Amino acid sequence: MNTLIEQAGHVPDFLIDDIKWQQLIFSNNSQSLNVNVPILTATQCQRLSDHIKLNNTQFLKKQNTTTIIELIDKAIERLLNRSDPFRLKAEKLLPVVTGFDTEMIRLSLTDYLKNFRKPQLLRFIAEDFSNPKILDEFQPIIKGGFAKAFGPDCLLHIWAGNVPGLPLWSLISGLLVKAGNIGKVSSSEPLFASWFVQLLIDIEPRISDCLAIVCWEGGNTEQESVFLNNAEVVVAYGGNTALKEIQHRTPITTRYLPYGHKISFGIVSASVLDSQKSWVVAHKAANDIARYDQHGCYSPHVFFIESGGNISPRTFAHYLAHELSCLQEKFSRRSLNVNESIQLAHWRDDETLKLLSEPGSEVISDKDGLWTVTFTEDEGSFSLSGLNRTIRLVAVNSFEKIIPLITPYKQFLQTVGIAATPTEVFQLSEQLGQHGVTRISGLGSMTAPEAGWHHDGRFNLLDLITLTEIESSAEVSSELYTPYKD
């Protein structure tokens, strides 16, 4: 087996000679990859935090937003360039690290990275600030007076998961508000954030002292606590239990922004179930299921299919199964580890047993279990999929049947992918929004949020900044002390 070696993370030069490196080992098919990540002591974490805060004040805070946007744009342009060494490295090594299909990663990365070009970054800022110049200088505000937005001197990111590129969303948001950024990479995918930071430093070496990418084992509170006590804002991703534990260790004066597990699902209207549209809808739904094998919070667990169309919900289930079979040929599902295989087998067995007692139900599966579609006409059915290309289809007589099913899960709901007429989309969106859904997309776009997407209904940038206001009284009273005052 061919073994490759890659170094991840970034630590400013003043500390680089003193730190230790831990080796993470990955293998996929005939390739093996050893990734070295920086491991710091508690004392080094404190020194690093102090260094990031100081240099952020001296450099990044003094840059205007346009300069930062252009820097990010240049880095993204290189990652989009398929002949660039960093892009070539990404296409070669990410399949080894994550296990996801090579071609899926290649195409998905391009779609994702386009969200961070200059026009899209301008949209990020415009979504949160009516006057983007407020990030650079004091600007007039509606109530009177002036205000300026200041990003934190130290913003801590705790990333989780193995979907490539996801850390970019919060890291780039931190850069746009001129924060000093410290990121903790996931041991499941430590590379992409590291490469992005290396690119930024190649383009603008002075930013090296304003950024750090490190790693520590989950539950190792010694290093984590140092960073939590130094950060002004903490952005954390992961399971709800882990996020709660981080919250307990975060000082009450620190702003804590957790992003936990979410549930997403799809809705297909009877109005689109005809002989012309049904195959297109099934293809889009299959893409949402297959992309990164449902490992994103925006991936669907269940589809509600409205009865009454020319194509029945049961027939649509077979269309969807066919499309998943085709996608398996195009983008093969990642190999599962032992625990994942056991969990998936249990889910499939439980579904089969449960559906045996339901008239009209059906399980459609690949002979090797590489994908599974379950179909039920039980309108009271709402439960999670087994992930890794498993999906539940529930036939409903009307959309009104869906709302009582999702109501108990209001705090966990996120994305709904809809295939319906314009009138139906707005009618459904009103009800879904009232019951916790924060994002409604077209079917086929569930796993590809738009630039400026409000993650879990929150702001990308506003949640990170602090406003300093000059009230009208200060402005008026200052006129009393001008040299031209009579």
Summarize pLDDT for 38-60 with one digit per residue, the tens.
999 999 999 999 999 999 999 99
Q: Residue 151 has what pLDDT?
A: 98
Question: Looking at the predicted structure, is the pLDDT value of residue 251 above 80?
Answer: yes
More confident of the two residues 190 and 219: 190
How open is the CA angle 324-329-335, to the nearest 5 degrees?
85
Mean pLDDT of the chain: 95
Q: How far apart, in whole angstroms, are the C-alpha atoms of residue 419 and residue 309?
A: 13
* 43 Cβ neighbours under 8 A, 6+ residues apart: none
Mean pLDDT in residue range 453-475: 95
Question: Looking at the predicted structure, is the pLDDT value of residue 381 above 80?
Answer: no
Nearest residue to 108 via CA among 440, 391, 449, 426: 449
Q: Residue 379 has what pLDDT?
A: 83
Q: How far apart, in whole angstroms, are the C-alpha atoms of residue 87 and residue 85?
A: 5
| Integer angstrom CA distances of residue 127 from 133, 454, 460, 467 | 13, 9, 9, 17
Lowest-pLDDT range of 4-8, 28-32, 120-124, 294-298: 28-32
Mean pLDDT in residue range 129-158: 97
CATH homologous superfamily for 263-450? Aldehyde Dehydrogenase; Chain A, domain 2 (3.40.309.10)
Mean pLDDT in residue range 153-176: 96
Q: Residue 358 has what pLDDT?
A: 85
Chain centre to alpha carbon of residue 55: 28
Question: Looking at the predicted structure, is the pLDDT value of residue 147 above 70?
Answer: yes
Nearest residue to 275 via CA among 312, 324, 327: 312
More confident of the two residues 382 and 251: 251
Which residues make beta-bridge pairs with 105? none
Half-sphere exposure of 312 toward its Cβ, with a 13 Å CA cutoff?
A: 7
Domain covering 2-261+456-470, topology: Aldehyde Dehydrogenase; Chain A, domain 1 (3.40.605)
Q: How far apart, in whole angstroms, are the C-alpha atoms of residue 24 and residue 34?
A: 6
What is the enclosing helix (H) or strand (E) of 140? strand 139-140
Mean pLDDT in residue range 214-224: 84
Question: Looking at the predicted structure, is the pLDDT value of residue 220 above 80?
Answer: no
Buried b (16+ CB within 10 A) or exposed e, 34-53: ebbbbbbeeebbbbbbebbb
Phi then psi dihedrals of residue 267, to 5 deg: -135, 130
**Do 106 and 165 touch, CB atoms closer than 8 A?**
no
- 360 band by pLDDT with thresholds 50, 70 and 90: confident
Handedness of CA 229, 230, 232, 235 (dihedral sign): negative
What are the residue ranges spanned by the domains of the chain? Answer: 2-261+456-470, 263-450
| Integer angstrom CA distances of residue 459 from 11, 111, 125, 456, 463 | 29, 22, 10, 9, 6
pLDDT per position as a tens digit, 299-319: 999 999 999 999 999 999 999
Question: Looking at the predicted structure, is the pLDDT value of residue 1 above 70?
Answer: no
Question: Looking at the predicted structure, is the pLDDT value of residue 121 above 70?
Answer: yes
Q: How far apart, in whole angstroms, are the C-alpha atoms of residue 144 and residue 153?
A: 28
Q: How far apart, in whole angstroms, are the C-alpha atoms of residue 363 and residue 15?
A: 57
pLDDT per position as a tens digit, 328-341: 999 999 999 999 99
Which residues make beta-bridge pairs with 365? 372
* 142 Cβ neighbours under 8 A, 6+ residues apart: none
- DSSP state, residue 296: S
Tokens standing for 148? 């300026």
Torsion of CA 201, 203, 206, 212, to 10 degrees: -20
Mark residue 139 as left, alpha or beta (left: phi above 0; alpha: psi -120 to 50; beta: remaining). Answer: beta
Question: Looking at the predicted structure, is the pLDDT value of residue 372 above 90?
Answer: yes
More confident of the two residues 136 and 18: 136
Mean pLDDT in residue range 126-154: 96
Question: Looking at the predicted structure, is the pLDDT value of residue 218 above 80?
Answer: no
Q: Residue 327 has what pLDDT?
A: 97
Q: How far apart, in whole angstroms, are the C-alpha atoms of residue 120 and residue 312?
A: 40
Q: How far apart, in whole angstroms, are the C-alpha atoms of residue 371 and residue 392?
A: 11
Q: How far apart, in whole angstroms, are the C-alpha atoms of residue 472 and residue 479?
A: 11
What is the enclosing helix (H) or strand (E) of 150? strand 146-150
Half-sphere exposure of 476 toward its Cβ, with a 13 Å CA cutoff?
A: 5
Q: How far apart, in whole angstroms, are the C-alpha atoms of residue 39 and residue 180?
A: 19
Using DSSP's 3-state secondary structure scheme, residue 429 falls into helix
Q: Residue 224 has what pLDDT?
A: 95
N residues, the chain: 486
- Strand stretches in 317-472, DSSP E: 362-365, 372-376, 390-396, 413-419, 439-442, 466-470
Q: Residue 219 has what pLDDT?
A: 66
Q: Which residue has the tokens 């890659």?
A: 6
Residues above pLDDT 70, as percent of the chain = 99
What is the enclosing helix (H) or strand (E) of 202? helix 192-203
